Amino acid sequence: MPSQQPASLRNIESRAAWGMLAPAMTLLIIFIVVPFFLAFLLSLTNERLIPRPIPTKWTGIRNYIRVLTDPDFWQALRNTFWFTFFIVPVQSSIGLGLALLINRQFKGNHIFRGIYFLPTVVPMVMVAIIWAGLLQAPEGVINGILRQISFDQIGPYDWLHHEWLAMPTIMLMSTWQGVGFQMIIYLAGLQNIPKELYEAARIDGANLWQLFWFITLPLLRNTHIVVLITTTILAFKLFTQVEVLTQGGPLGATNSLVRYIYVAGFQYQKVGLAAAASVIFFLIVLAIALCQHHLIQTDKD
């Protein structure tokens, strides 16, 4: 019976497919799905971080009410959005610019590649500590340079303790540290673009700007998507540099959502509250990811 042959084949194929999926699925379930549901359950209790002599109790949505009525939470949310909306376009375009610069064939281009990528390889904690030294006021290196080039007219500024300067300072140092990552992804994207396209366009009389605008940018479409989504998620996870440099200050101007969760869970030892904030954080990131996905889909059509 020839009609049954494909069905059994399909059966075997799908069994093989499930078999190959199984290890990854198991790990995903154990490390992502289960913890998420645990976090959701914990968010409905008064669970404490460390053992205590009294039992944990269900507290309903009390933790959610506490998070949502806490002005510090809203401030952290605003700060995180501001940071993300700045960092995503800026870091992506600088990353692309650097990638374009070092994508050319010249002697020692891999040395530049290494130099630009270096800050990204150095752990953020160390980068932040080095910047804390550079940003000292009034006698730090950066204030010194500003004073020199402005003939004593500008500064000194207390970069990390000034309500309006602290966040932009964190943004700048984060860009400096992270931009190598975007650069490397763009570099890979650039090297996938066939050279013939540029040659053909040259013959047609296209100038450099037209080459970039009509060939490089459109052909990097998939790279843009990767960079956009990863940079957004990385930006939302803002924590280390804030914790090291400002601890969320001054007046909460640099507090981030992840730091809010960290403080709730580790400093205040309120796992329940931290879990509630994490669930809210997850929903926000999910909403943004869905939005981006939707935009990319409609763009494709």
When the beta carbons of 59 and 174 are compared against another protein, the nearer one is 59
Nearest residue to 241 via CA among 259, 264, 223: 259
226 touching another protein, by CB under 8 A:
no
- Quick check: 46 binds another protein (CB under 8 A)? yes
Going by C-alpha positions, the residue among 247, 233, 256, 243 that lies closest to residue 124 is 243
**Interacting span for another protein (CB under 8 A) from 35-43, 112-120, 157-165, 230-238:** 157-165
User: For the chain, how far is it from start to end, CA to CA, in angstroms?
Assistant: 43
Tell me whether residue 78 or residue 224 sits nearer to another protein (CB atom).
78
Rounded distance, CA 108 to CA 185, Å?
A: 20
Minimal distance, residue 137 CB to another protein, in Å: 4
Q: Counting runs of H as helices and runs of E as strands, what totals does the chain give?
A: 15, 0
Question: Is the C-alpha dihedral spanning 78, 233, 179, 139 positive or negative?
Answer: positive
CB burial of residue 162 (10 Å; 0-12, 13-18, 19+):
middle
- For the bound state, the minimum distance from the C-beta of residue 194 to another protein, rounded and expressed in Å, comes to 52
Report the nearest approach of another protein to the CB of residue 283 (Å): 23
Residue (of 180, 178, 182) closest to 115 by Cα position: 180
- Residue 136 within binding range of another protein, rule CB under 8 A: yes
Contact flag: residue 147 with another protein (CB under 8 A): no
Q: Is the CB of 87 or the CB of 261 nearer to another protein?
A: 261
Interface with another protein includes 130 (CB under 8 A)?
no
Residue 65 in contact with another protein, rule: CB under 8 A: no
Binding of another protein by 29 (CB under 8 A): no
The answer to whether 44 contacts another protein (rule: CB under 8 A) is: no
Q: Is there binding between residue 140 and another protein (CB under 8 A)?
A: yes
Name the minimum Å distance from CB 83 to another protein. 19
CA distance 75 to 100: 38
Indicate whether 60 belongs to the interface with another protein (CB under 8 A): no
Size of the site for another protein (CB under 8 A): 37
Inter-CA distances, 64 with 36, 58, 67, 114, 148, Å: 16, 13, 5, 46, 51
Give me the residues that bind another protein (CB under 8 A), please: 46, 48-54, 57, 59, 66, 71-72, 135-140, 158-161, 163, 247, 249-252, 263, 266-270, 272-273
